[in-house]
Amino acid sequence: MQRIREFNLTNSDVARTNFRLKPSIENPAPRGMDQQAVKAFAESAQEQWKAKAEIISNARSTLQHVAVLVGVMCSVTPEAAFEMLTQ
């Protein structure tokens, strides 16, 4: 639990630094976070997660197919073949 707290504190400090509002003529002393930058970052992160989930799903189905193939070739069940492959 302590690691999670430390991780969140570190990330919140990074977020405050990376997404801080920039000074401008209209707002020379801005406070808070740049909501557009945060939204763009969140959308990018979500797309990356979706891509990773798809890759993992493809790898999982490929491993299942390989386990079936190994099971057929070795005359064992797909579950036993999976156990052999993952040891």
Q: Considering all CA atoms of the chain, what is the largest pairwise distance in Å, rounded to the nearest integer?
A: 75
Classify burial at 81, counting beta carbons within 10 Å of its beta carbon; exposed 0-12, middle 13-18, buried 19 or more.
buried
Q: CA geometry: angle at 20 spanning 52 and 23, to 5°?
A: 140
pTM: 0.54
Q: CA geometry: angle at 51 spanning 8 and 62, to 5°?
A: 120
The model's confidence at residue 9, banded by pLDDT at 50, 70 and 90, is very low
Which residues neighbour 28 within 8 Å (Cβ) at sequence distance 6 or greater?
none
* Mean pLDDT, range 1-14, rounded to an integer: 57
